[in-house]
Amino acid sequence: MTGLFGGVFARGGVGAEVNDAAWLRALLDAEAALARAHARAGRIDPAHAEAIAAACVPEHFDTDALGSAAPGAGNPVVPLVKELTRVVGPEAARHVHEGATSQDIMDTAAMLVCRRAGAVIRAEAETACAGLAALASGHRATIMAGRTLLQQALPTTFGAVTAGWLDGLGTATQALGEVVESRTPAQLGGAAGTLASLGDDGPAVLAHYAAELGLPEPVLPWHTDRGPVAELAGALARVCGAAGKAAGDIVLLAQTETGEATEAGGAGVGGSSTLPHKRNPIAAVSAVACAEQAPGLASTLFACQVQEHQRAAGRWHAEWLPLADLLRTTGSAVAWLGTSLERLSVHPARMRANLDLTGGFPLAERVTTDLAGELGRLPAHELVQDACQDAANSGRGLAAVLAERLQGRRTEAQIASLLDPAGYVGSTGTFVERALAAHARRTTRNGGRTSVNEEQE
């Protein structure tokens, strides 16, 4: 994608793997592999196969011209085959596209595009995961308010929060890798999925074709079984969801009234067309903008699964653009998240100040738990709930109200200890360690770690 929106919605390296040039390359790779498969099966002279493969060079073809000619047959393969036949020498020309139908080449090209774009997406996601791992490790003891329904709940740590982002994106990326590597099959079935024109050689040609491409060999042609595309859609949408979750939380933490994290600005970064003071977390905002597109694109691809008979009329064609767009938006979402993490500054003092705003309310559950052994769960809950209501209505601190109500049961020092958030973060340390260990197991390379700037306080 280029033009007005390319800078936002084609972030990172994924754009080059899903553009017209990438699709043309994949279509030509499929045609070259088909010719070589016929040669390996002994059906054509190897010299003819190599002549066809040598002609399958993107520079020999004009994507705009192919696109303009595509309406005649409803897909770009027909004009591509015509042009390829013209480019190839006369002896080899009769073997161009032999035994295949247009959908075979389009579906195979789609799987190649998904594999190549998928590798870029995974690399971008691994970079983001490295940044998240650094945050989780460095902030395992940084206390902050946990929030539920957008209200302060119990204390947690920023390390635990980022560990959650890390595990979500890491497991989603791992799942995408499994789909891209093992469930992106080659497609070769001929006109109706029978390979009748190849006689008894059909299965052998299919096996050689898949091997030439480095794609899994399908059990049988999958012209109207769109499971591979649906699996890709689900895996890509899951990565988008994980990236969007982390980026969305960063946007919330960067709100003026919260101020617990900010993206470092700079000339032209995070500014406003009218407000000179603005410091928008624009990388995180852009990641969310990209991720928000995934559900609709995935939904279209899922809907395209219901296809007629042995070859579909329209639903197969409807997959091409949303699949490319979903690959692009997924790669862009994780690339933007990585940029946000590179720019991120964390403000532990502000986190603690926000946690202290309510005068101990987030620790009310801890007081209830402490009293439950003496009073019973429900009476303890009601006592603390009434104390919280009193403190909220009167403007007094919860510690002072509890000191009055628990006189003779708990000392002021005991109450202060119960209301100390540092002592009530549960198993966050263990969970951070588990997330980091899982990340280490998933990591296949050590380069590309992001840096995170922390505020000095």
The CATH number of the domain holding residue 388 is 1.10.40.30
Question: Is 429 part of a structural domain of the chain?
Answer: no
Q: Does 167 share its domain with 116?
A: yes
311 is catalytic: yes
Q: Does 137 share its domain with 212?
A: yes
Tens digit of each residue's pLDDT (9 = 90 or more) over 207-233? 999 999 999 999 999 999 999 999 999
Candidates 183, 279, 311, 315; catalytic one: 311
394 is catalytic: no
Please indicate, yes or no, whether the overall pTM of this predicted structure exceeds 0.85. yes
Question: Is 457 part of a structural domain of the chain?
Answer: no
> CB–CB of 391/398 below 8 Å?
yes
Q: What is the mean pLDDT of residues 139-160?
A: 94
C-alpha distance from residue 210 to each of 42, 184, 215 (Å)? 16, 10, 5
State the pLDDT at residue 269.
57
**Per the structure block, which two tokens stand in for 241?**
């969801």
Q: Does 255 share its domain with 390?
A: no
Query: Is residue 450's pLDDT more than 80?
Result: no
> CB–CB of 131/164 below 8 Å?
no
Question: Is 456 part of a structural domain of the chain?
Answer: no
Candidates 68, 94, 197, 272; catalytic one: 272
Q: Does 272 share its domain with 136?
A: yes
Question: Is 435 part of a structural domain of the chain?
Answer: no
Question: Is 452 part of a structural domain of the chain?
Answer: no
Query: Is residue 272's pLDDT more than 50?
Result: no
DSSP annotation of 269:
B
Per the structure, the complete domain to which residue 387 belongs is given by 360-418
Q: Does 162 share its domain with 216?
A: yes
332, 350, 368 — which closes off a domain?
Answer: 350
Q: What does the alpha-carbon distance between residue 296 and residue 331 come to, in Å, rounded to a whole number? A: 16
Question: Is 440 part of a structural domain of the chain?
Answer: no
> What is the count of structural domains for the chain?
2
Q: Does 162 share its domain with 62?
A: yes
Q: Does 152 share its domain with 132?
A: yes
Confidence category of residue 262, pLDDT binned at 50, 70, 90? very high
Check which CATH number belongs to the domain holding 271 and give it: 1.20.200.10
Query: Is residue 448's pLDDT more than 90?
Result: no
Cα torsion 284, 289, 295, 297 to 10°: value is -130
Question: Is 268 part of a structural domain of the chain?
Answer: yes
DSSP annotation of 274:
S
Q: Does 285 share its domain with 414?
A: no
Q: Does 232 share its domain with 181?
A: yes
State the pLDDT at residue 422.
87
